[in-house]
Chains A and B, each alone.
Chain A
Amino acid sequence: KAGVTQTPRYLIKTRGQQVTLSCSPISGHRSVSWYQQTPGQGLQFLFEYFSETQRNKGNFPGRFSGRQFSNSRSEMNVSTLELGDSALYLCASSLSASGSSYEQYFGPGTRLTVT
Chain B
Amino acid sequence: DAKTTQPNSMESNEEEPVHLPCNHSTISGTDYIHWYRQLPSQGPEYVIHGLTSNVNNRMASLAIAEDRKSSTLILHRATLRDAAVYYCILREYGNKLVFGAGTILRVKS
- A and B interact physically: no
Residues of B within 8 A of A (CB): none
